[in-house]
Amino acid sequence: MGDQQVFRASTTAPVNIAVIKYWGKRDPKLNLPTNSSLSVTLAQSDLRTHTTASCSSSFSSPDSLILNGSPQDVSGARTQACFRELRQLRKQMEESDSKLPKLSQMPLRVVSENNFPTAAGLASSAAGFAALVRVIADLYQLSSTPTELSRIARQGSGSACRSLFGGYVAWEKGTEVDGSDSVAVEVAPVSHWPEMRALILVVSAEKKGVSSTSGMQATVATSTLFTERAERTVPKRMEEMKKAILDRDFDTFGKVTMRDSNSFHATCLDTDPPIFYMNDVSQAAVRMVEEINEAAGRVIAAYTFDAGPNAVIYYLAENEHAVVGLFKNVLGSKDGWAGSRGSAVKSNSEAKFNA
Ligand code: ADP
Ligand code: DP6
Ligand code: CO
């Protein structure tokens, strides 16, 4: 009965929200980005994926993935690439130690839950594929480093490579044609700047109209602004942002974060046909952050929007009252802020995020 045994592993992965956005692929097949990007991993926020993977020779083929209770198509190239690479690493272990059970030959069953809106611009693909890759690596007892796993997760969803690390994380676009150096690297651990906080405003939990994958491909194909952004604007900002983080310079961190979010959304608008991810409530959030900063006389809050209308606002713990206080005051009193899910605001202001 030994060969009927079920092997199982569980893990959880947090979302990361980019302050320098990834948008555009130079190689859609290998999922290689046109530009490098940089994010903060929100490890102690409420936004997480929980994933369990099991395998057994008693499972009927083929591999399966259930996301939030619904069976998903795993035949897509992205999921297949992750499964294939992880199996390959397991197979190498099995070949060098014949006593190991042949997990690489068994069908995989993956069950995943996001405790936040999926495909709504809150980085579900990032937490989702980071968790998927890590849980199978754990199941297979691989000794891979987070960098190696980030290279695999990148093929599932680009932003996922950054969720394998905590703290401040860069995804270096790399130069190799096979993508071997297109991986995530730690810029600084969370302990370097532990005062950073993120306020998440769920403007809409609805699935976005244009997925990140198809949106960025349309931008690459049609936007003339995009070349300027990818070739000149982002490389310069990557350096400014790394320095701001190493110097714990919130003023620069905030300014560059907001400008990069606006630059990314400008290329979406410059796409033909145009893509609108931000809505009027998103714009109201932008104006509120501007008011907060004007009242403070300096930048104490920085907004950023992924491919969706939901706002993430970075601030330092010392400015909790000025930033979160104002947003809480208007929550529920303005159209759109209350949300149907009961809690339109999720904040990690009590708990610090960390690795
Ligand atoms: P988001 O802004 O939420 O990242 P995307 O358009 O980038 O939206 O990706 C959404 C897709 O990511 C989903 O339709 C699904 O295919 C995939 N995804 C999301 N969560 C998970 C998960 N937990 N496990 C596997 N795949 C996931
Ligand atoms: C706006 O990583 O979701 O959130 O690689 O096609 O899965 P795929 O795209 P994805 O794109 C994320 C875009 C973004 C910016 C960012 O996270 O850097
Ligand atoms: Co995504």
Rounded Cα distance between 40 and 320, Å, is 18
- The percentage of residues in the chain with a pLDDT greater than 90, rounded to a whole number, is 85
User: What is residue 341's predicted lDDT score, i.e. its pLDDT?
Assistant: 32
pLDDT (0 to 100) of residue 337 = 42
CB 46 within 8 A of CB 345: no
Whole-number Cα distances in Å, 277 to 41, 220, 312, 328: 22, 16, 14, 24
CB 37 within 8 A of CB 21: yes
CA of 30 to the centre of ligand 1 (A): 18
Atom 4, ligand 2: residue with shortest CA distance: 306
Q: Which residue has the higher pLDDT, 325 or 209?
A: 209
pLDDT in tens, 31-84: 999 999 999 999 877 789 999 999 999 998 899 999 999 999 999 999 999 999
Each residue of 218-271: pLDDT tens digit? 999 999 999 999 999 999 999 999 999 999 999 999 999 999 999 999 999 999
Per-residue pLDDT, 43: 87
How far, in Å, is the centroid of ligand 3 from the Cα of 93? 32
Look at residue 148 in the predicted model and tell me its pLDDT: 96
Q: In the predicted model, is pLDDT for residue 192 greater than 90?
A: yes
Mean pLDDT of the chain: 91
pTM, two decimal places: 0.94
Query: Of residues 167 and 281, which shows the higher confidence score?
Result: 167
The model's confidence at residue 2, banded by pLDDT at 50, 70 and 90, is low
ipTM > 0.95 for the complex: yes
Among the bound ligands, name the one nearest to the CA of residue 32: 2
Structure confidence by residue, pLDDT tens digits, 89-136:
999 999 999 999 999 999 999 999 999 899 999 999 999 999 999 999
Q: CA 165, CA 97: separation in Å to the nearest integer? A: 30
Residue 72 Ramachandran class (φ > 0 left, ψ -120 to 50 alpha, else beta): beta
- Give per-residue pLDDT as tens, 291-346: 999 999 999 999 999 999 999 999 999 999 999 888 877 665 444 444 333 333 44
- Residue among 153, 150, 152 at smallest CA distance from 170: 150
Q: Is the pLDDT of residue 278 over 60?
A: yes
Q: Alpha carbon 192 to chain centroid distance?
A: 21
**Ligand 1 pocket list (CB less than 6 A):** 49, 67, 112, 114, 118-126, 128-129, 132, 157, 211-212, 306-308
**Nearest bound ligand to the CA of residue 112:** 1
